[in-house]
Structure 1
Amino acid sequence: MTHYVDGFLLPIAPEHIVEYQKVANLAGAVWKEHGAIAYWECLGDDLDIPDMVSFKKSAGCKDNETVVLAWIVYPSRAARDEINSAVMADPRLKDMCQNDSLFDYRRMAYGGFKELVRHD
């Protein structure tokens, strides 16, 4: 069975990480309740690798920012579309999705991905 993955890369200032983690915990629970297989949010740590494009650069980070790399796994693209519709309508997340005080949504990279290789 082939899964479908939504991927995210976003810049975040250090002073917003604790609050963002609370929001991400709620979001993960809601996505899972609506049918997502897995929900991961990871905070940048070892990002300055010589001779490679930095995640910070890719995310358009300012000097004081780091990145969050996140992904959500779904059973299929059709399931992703249904799950995301349900999540966006969920009252627990409606206000959160309108809040741009934790990070700049316009600088977030987002896309849907077909599974290419998988090792469980």
Structure 2
Amino acid sequence: MSDERYTDGFLIPVKKSKLDDYTRAAEKCSAIWKEYGALDYAETVIDHDGIPNMRAFADAAGAGEDEVVVFSYVVYPSKEVRDAANEKIMADPRMKEICEVSAPLFDCRRMAYGGFRTLVRA
């Protein structure tokens, strides 16, 4: 069953020693994203990786031995709501503070990002 929902997905290598700080920043972000229309916001940390004959998330993320992989996603009612929300989120003054705190937590250039339209939702 297809629907109009739209999902942003992120794959982020984070230093193990910075995971608690990252979590605190993500908690602040979640409130802002939800305020601007996100239906669901999740930040998850890898717990099981590496199945034979499959590429590991750690490899896909380029994570080093001292890093963990965070997989995050935000679900919106539609791409239009996502686009409007992202404009508001990036203009929100709370984001400047979060970005300043988050800068040493992970390297944005190593973060993988994509916007996804829904094919199947059960």
TM-score of Structure 1 vs Structure 2, range by shorter chain: over 0.9
Which residue does the alignment assign to 2:55? 53
Cα distance in 1, alignment partners of residues 31 and 7 from structure 2? 17
- 1:25-70 superposed Cα distances (whole Å, 9 cap, x missing partner): 0000100011111101100110122221000000011122110000
Please report the TM-score for the alignment, with normalisation by the length of structure 2.
0.93
- Give 5+ residue unaligned stretches, structure 2: none
Which residue does the alignment assign to 2:86? 84
Query: What letter is aligned with 2:58?
Result: K
Which residue does the alignment assign to 1:11? 13
Give the CA RMSD over aligned residues.
1.0
Which residue does the alignment assign to 1:111? 114
Matched residue of 1:87: which SS? Answer: helix
Deviating 4+ runs (over 6 angstroms) = none
- 1:3-45 superposed Cα distances (whole Å, 9 cap, x missing partner): 0000000101111000000000000010001111110110011
Cα distance in 1, alignment partners of residues 106 and 12 from structure 2? 8
Identity percentage over the alignment? 45
Cα distance in 2, alignment partners of residues 18 and 51 from structure 1? 32
Please report the TM-score for the alignment, with normalisation by the length of structure 1.
0.94
Deviation at 1:95, TM superposition (A): 2.8
Which residue does the alignment assign to 2:68? 66
Which residue does the alignment assign to 2:104? 101
The number of residues matched between the two structures is: 119
Deviation at 1:113, TM superposition (A): 0.3
